[in-house]
Amino acid sequence: MAGYIDLRKGIDLYLRFVVDDVDDDSQKPLGVFQAIHNLRSKGILSDYECVQDDEIGRWFDSNLPKPTRFTSSKPPFHNKKSKAISWFKHTAEKHISQIRSLAAILQNHGVFVHMLKAERVGYVVYEDEFQVVAEPFAGEE
Q: What is the pLDDT of residue 1?
A: 45
Q: pLDDT digit string (tens) for 94-113?
A: 999 999 999 999 999 999 99
Per-residue pLDDT for 60 more than 50? Answer: yes
Question: What is the mean pLDDT of the segment spanning 60-67?
Answer: 95
Q: What is the pLDDT of residue 137?
A: 83
Q: What is the pLDDT of residue 25?
A: 75
Q: What is the pLDDT of residue 76?
A: 56
Question: What is the mean pLDDT of the segment spanning 28-45?
Answer: 95
Residue 139 pLDDT level (bands cut at 50, 70, 90): low
**DSSP state string for 47-102:** HHHHHHHHHHHHHHHHHSPPPS-S-SSPSPGGGS----EEEEETT-HHHHHHHHHH
Question: What is the mean pLDDT of the segment spanning 8-26?
Answer: 83
